């Protein structure tokens, strides 16, 4: 760190990303609470364990190869590009930068911010498959979505030099597509193969509601996700950088916050837009769901996700309206898909994340038409065709397709779904029967002790 300003900027940036990581931890806590609240009592421990173990599995694999993919793949094979071994080298697990190093104070916190996005992507998939998937199968999917597919899409469309940004003008500042559309698409691919929970559909195909066992846990869960989302938004920005450090077309000496593409925005702008899109989503969801509490809460999230692609540039009222439009479409699409294809999206994750993310990308293409996607020369500007193609790549190519293929392979090998008897009995008894047995044993022992005294 040369000079006081450089030192201050470095330490501020380091601390900034560190705080976002702590906030984003709450997203995972929220997902865990939401899933457990939504599952039935006989599946609690299994549901919780399924989501908790995403943390170590995705963390380890993201350290070993996920982070390298981000830096090495921005131009991989598309348009004659190749793997960027030079940029990737500093991010390999044996690099000095990926360790305690006083010469690099940023890689650790930046890696962690991306890692928390990885957990989120995996956790979105986890929610839609509760109460019938094998943990072993889900954990393979978690590694694939968390440390492979989402980070490929980030390299392509969420990197200042990604080919989608350069050629398509792809713009997705707060990850409508790169996290939510891909994870929702992936979940859709898995649940198509996995099938619905027993009892979800009547014999005539009419869907049944499977109510949450604990609505309050579910409510607190989603509020924690809202809270963690603040960290998610802040983590998508570079907090303070000079035009010289950006190295693009920006002239002058005025420092700025930027989005991930190094194009200017401000923390103030995204604070306006986060709150207005949350509000637009909540209000629209309340109306369209006729006051259904859980759809209203999820609608707030879906609203933010819909507006996220352009929330670095939208006017707050635009963010609110974009969110409201997205939520109305998402709600209707969810029930149409459920009825038409008999799919059991247990927590509405495909809808709230996948459809909202897809729609948000498309809308941003129109509202931000012609705006520069990057501060660098020669990049395509933001446009509806580029955003639509981007949405297809995120949702279908990198999300749905791998999810479907891997789930199909797992199904053929007989390792995707739990046996019907176990599903009816409950996973906690079948897999964690030691708890029930231990409980029964200690109750019997206590009763015997009591009887011996009397």
Residues that bind another protein in the complex, under the rule CB under 8 A? 243, 248-254, 256, 263-265, 280, 283, 286-287, 290-291, 313-315, 317-318, 320-321, 324, 367-372, 374-375, 377, 381
Q: Tell the smallest beta-carbon distance from residue 283 to another protein (Å).
A: 5
Q: How far apart are the first and last CA of the chain?
A: 76
Decide whether 101 or 249 has the Cβ nearer to another protein.
Answer: 249
In the complex, least distance from residue 213 CB atom to another protein, rounded to whole angstroms: 18
Instruction: Compare residues 231 and 375 and give the one whose CB is closer to another protein.
Output: 375
What is the largest distance, in Å, between two alpha-carbon atoms of the chain?
Answer: 89
Q: Which is nearer to another protein, 2 or 377 (CB)?
A: 377
Q: In terms of CB distance, is 288 or 391 closer to another protein?
A: 288
For the CB of residue 309, give the shortest distance to another protein in the complex, in Å. 13
Contacts of 3 (CB under 8 A, 6+ apart): none
CB 237 within 8 A of CB 313: no
The two structure tokens encoding residue 387? 């955003």
Which residues make Cβ contacts (< 8 Å) with residue 197, sequence separation at least 6?
Answer: 131, 132, 210, 344, 346, 423
Per the DSSP assignment, residues forming a β-bridge with 133 are 417
If one counts every other C-beta atom within 10 angstroms of the C-beta of residue 303, the result is 32
Report in angstroms how near the CB of residue 391 gets to another protein at its nearest. Answer: 19
Nearer to another protein, 307 or 427 (CB): 307
Q: What's the min distance (Å) between Cβ of 214 and another protein? A: 17
CB of 319 to another protein, least distance (A): 9
Contact between 147 and 365 under an 8 Å Cβ cutoff? The reply is no
Minimum CB distance to another protein smaller for 162 or for 372: 372
Residue 74 CB-half CA count within 13 A: 16
Q: Report the residue number, 360 or 426, with the smaller CB distance to another protein.
A: 360
Tell me how far, at minimum, the Cβ of 312 lies from another protein, in Å: 9
* Residue 118 or 374 with smaller CB distance to another protein: 374
Residues 314, 386: Cα–Cα separation, whole Å: 18
Helix (H) or strand (E) holding 112: helix 107-128
Cβ distance to another protein smaller for residue 151 or 319 = 319
Q: Which two tokens stand for residue 230?
A: 């603040």
For the chain, the residue count is 454
CB of 136 to another protein, least distance (A): 42
**Phi, psi for 304 (deg, rounded to 5):** -60, -45
The SS3 call for residue 265 is strand
What lies within 8 Å, CB to CB, of 17 at 6+ separation is 106, 109, 110, 112, 113, 235
CA dihedral of 104, 110, 111, 116, whole degrees rounded to 10: 160
Q: In angstroms, give the least distance from the CB of 408 to another protein.
A: 42
| Lookup: tokens for 161 | 């030099």
Nearest to 133 by CA among 372, 346, 365, 452: 346
d(CA 26, CA 231): 9
User: In the bound complex, what is the minimum distance in angstroms from residue 314's beta carbon to another protein?
Assistant: 6
Whether the CB-CB separation of 213 and 40 falls below 8 Å is answered with yes
Q: How far is the CB of 344 from another protein (least distance, A)?
A: 29
Q: Token pair of 439, please?
A: 């409980």
Our CB check for another protein shows the closer of 10 and 381 to be 381
Contact (CB, 8 A) for 235 and 251: no
Per-residue b or e along 252-262, where b marks 16 or more CB atoms closer than 10 Å to that residue's CB = eeebbbbbbbb
Nearest residue (CB) to another protein, 220 versus 287? 287
């Amino acid at each position: 760190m040369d000079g006081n300003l450089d030192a201050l900027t470095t330490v501020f940036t380091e601390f900034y990303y560190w705080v976002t990581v702590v906030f984003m931890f709450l997203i995972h806590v929220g997902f865990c609470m939401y899933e457990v609240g939504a599952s039935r009592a006989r599946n609690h421990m299994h549901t919780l364990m399924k989501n908790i173990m995403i943390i170590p599995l995705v963390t380890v694999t993201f350290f070993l190869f996920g982070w390298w993919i981000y830096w090495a793949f921005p131009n991989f094979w598309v348009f004659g590009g190749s793997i960027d071994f030079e940029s990737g080298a500093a991010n390999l697990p044996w690099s000095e930068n990926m360790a305690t190093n006083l010469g690099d104070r940023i890689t650790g916190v930046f890696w962690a911010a991306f890692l928390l996005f990885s957990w989120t992507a995996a956790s979105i998939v986890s929610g839609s498959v509760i109460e019938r998937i094998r943990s072993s199968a889900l954990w393979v999917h978690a590694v694939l979505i968390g440390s492979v597919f989402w980070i490929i899409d980030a390299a392509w469309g969420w990197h200042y030099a990604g080919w989608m940004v350069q050629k398509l003008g792809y713009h997705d500042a707060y990850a409508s597509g790169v996290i939510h559309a891909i994870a929702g698409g992936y979940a859709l691919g898995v649940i198509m193969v996995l099938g619905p929970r027993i009892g979800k559909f009547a014999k005539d195909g009419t869907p049944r509601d499977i109510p949450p066992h604990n609505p309050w846990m579910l409510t607190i869960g989603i509020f924690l996700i809202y809270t963690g989302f603040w960290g998610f938004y802040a983590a998508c920005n570079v907090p303070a950088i000079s035009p010289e450090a950006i190295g693009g077309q920006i002239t002058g000496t005025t420092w700025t916050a930027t989005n991930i593409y190094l194009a200017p925005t401000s923390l103030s702008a995204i604070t306006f837009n986060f709150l207005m899109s949350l509000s637009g989503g909540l209000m629209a969801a309340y109306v369209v769901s006729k006051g259904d509490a859980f759809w209203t809460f999820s609608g707030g999230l879906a609203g933010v996700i819909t507006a996220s692609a352009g929330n670095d540039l939208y006017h707050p009222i635009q963010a609110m309206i974009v969110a409201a439009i997205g939520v109305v479409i998402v709600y209707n699409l969810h029930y149409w898909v459920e009825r038409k294809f008999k799919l059991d999206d247990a927590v509405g994750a495909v809808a709230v994340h996948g459809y909202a993310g897809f729609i948000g990308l498309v809308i941003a293409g129109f509202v931000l038409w012609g705006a520069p996607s990057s501060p660098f020369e020669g990049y395509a500007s933001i446009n509806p065709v580029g955003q639509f193609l981007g949405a297809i790549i995120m949702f279908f190519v990198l999300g749905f397709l791998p999810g479907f293929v891997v789930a199909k392979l797992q199904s053929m090998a007989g390792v995707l779904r739990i046996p019907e008897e176990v599903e009816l009995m409950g996973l906690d008894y079948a897999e964690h029967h030691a708890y029930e047995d231990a409980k029964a044993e200690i109750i019997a022992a206590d009763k015997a002790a009591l009887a011996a005294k009397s």
